[in-house]
Amino acid sequence: MSFADVAAQLAARTAVILGWRPDDFWNATPAELLGILQALAGDGATPPSADALHQLMARFPDSPSGET
């Protein structure tokens, strides 16, 4: 199978499973897609703790001023 064939199949599956539009698929990184699919598959990974999430939010704020 060519890259185009595999990409088309994966894009179709993300549309059905995740409700993604083509732009959503093409703008996602492979790591993001893998993480989402692993979470859906229940791979046994534990989610981050609330403390870990707060640390990440402080380190990488959504706004330049750090407001949430």
Q: Which has the closest alpha carbon to 39: 17, 9, 8, 58?
A: 17
> Per the domain annotation, does 50 fall within a domain?
yes
Q: Is 36 helix (H, G, I), strand (E, B) or coil?
A: helix
> Per the domain annotation, does 68 fall within a domain?
no
Domain count, the chain: 1
Note the pTM of the prediction, 2 decimals.
0.55
> Per the domain annotation, does 44 fall within a domain?
yes
The pLDDT value given to residue 63: 73
> Per the domain annotation, does 48 fall within a domain?
yes
What is the rounded distance in angstroms from the CA atom of residue 11 to the CA atom of residue 5? 10
> Per the domain annotation, does 65 fall within a domain?
no
> Per the domain annotation, does 37 fall within a domain?
yes
Give the structural domain span for 24: 3-59
The pLDDT value given to residue 29: 92
| Per-residue pLDDT tens listing for the chain (68 residues) | 888 888 899 999 999 989 999 999 999 998 898 888 888 887 666 777 889 888 988 998 887 665 55
> Per the domain annotation, does 66 fall within a domain?
no
The pLDDT value given to residue 66: 55
